[in-house]
Chain A
Amino acid sequence: ETGVTQTPRHLVMGMTNKKSLKCEQHLGHNAMYWYKQSAKKPLELMFVYSLEERVENNSVPSRFSPECPNSSHLFLHLHTLQPEDSALYLCASSQGTGEYGYTFGSGTRLTVV
């Protein structure tokens, strides 16, 4: 385990479903991130949370809704997704947002049908 745990590992959902991705870290880090990894594309930063407050939102569609109830947990709520949203969703954490050493989870492989 890397210290960042993501569940579920795989998720298949229909376009009308609502689901949530969960991320948990016990590293004592204060910053958490959601990234999207699609084939043949760079990792795309979606959201940044620092001390449970959202500090960055990179023009992500509203069908993706993040939630950070405390510094150890991060959620990504999904609703009415499109097939092009199928990708690997990675959660990461770091000591602070000024750090470069992110610890990534293994990701959730999402397939939208």
Chain B
Amino acid sequence: QKEVEQDPGPLSVPEGAIVSLNCTYSNSAFQYFMWYRQYSRKGPELLMYTYSSGNKEDGRFTAQVDKSSKYISLFIRDSQPSDSATYLCAMKRGGADGLTFGKGTHLIIQP
């Protein structure tokens, strides 16, 4: 079983829809959970982060972590064509460990 599972998509939705992106993981030692966004021909950029379980909201974006189910989600409200990108979940145990990434989900918002 891979440490982090993420459906690569593509996921295509109409503009204005609510988007739900998800990752599951197997390592219960992960404590920090992040979402990165990567546009074509660019490096990933940090979008959201959450420590342990709970919700975090930032504008149109909401990140959720359920450690009991080893499941994290990113919701995008009122999706825009500019949200079209690859969204990567990432996790970290703490200390000097590097980030462990999912494969990324390719999201397409249709105008």
Give A47's nearest chain B residue, CB to CB.
Answer: B98
Interface residues on A, range: 20 to 34
Q: Is the CB of A101 within 8 A of B98?
A: no
Stretch at the interface among B37-45, B57-65, B73-81: B37-45
Q: Is the CB of A97 within 8 A of B96?
A: yes
Q: A98 to chain B: closest CB distance in Å?
A: 6
Complex contacts, B46 vs chain A, CB 8 Å: 100-103
Given A40-B8, A42-B103, does the pair A92, B34 have CB atoms closer than 8 Å? no
Q: Is the CB of B103 within 8 A of A104?
A: no
Q: Is the CB of A56 within 8 A of B98?
A: yes
CA distance A98 to B97 in the complex (A): 7
CA distance A92 to B101 in the complex (A): 14
Given A43-B88, A98-B94, does the pair A90, B43 have CB atoms closer than 8 Å? yes
Give A6's nearest chain B residue, CB to CB.
Answer: B43
Q: B48 to chain A: closest CB distance in Å?
A: 11
Q: Specify which of A45, A92, A100 lies most central, judged by the most chain B CB atoms within 10 Å of its CB.
A: A100
Tell me if A48 is interfacial: C-beta within 8 Å of chain B. yes
Q: A69 to chain B: closest CB distance in Å?
A: 21
Tell me if A107 is interfacial: C-beta within 8 Å of chain B. yes
Complex contacts, A50 vs chain B, CB 8 Å: 96
Complex contacts, A4 vs chain B, CB 8 Å: 43
Tell me if B111 is interfacial: C-beta within 8 Å of chain A. no
CA distance A111 to B92 in the complex (A): 30
Give A104's nearest chain B residue, CB to CB.
Answer: B43
Q: A23 to chain B: closest CB distance in Å?
A: 11
Tell me if A106 is interfacial: C-beta within 8 Å of chain B. yes
CB-based closest 8 A-B pairs: A104-B43, A97-B96, A43-B101, A45-B98, A42-B101, A100-B32, A42-B103, A104-B44
A-B contact pairs, 6 of them (CB 8 A): A2-B45, A90-B44, A97-B97, A100-B32, A103-B46, A104-B43
**Which residues on B are within 8 Å of A, measured CB to CB?**
2, 4, 6, 8, 32, 34, 41-46, 49, 88, 90, 92, 94-104
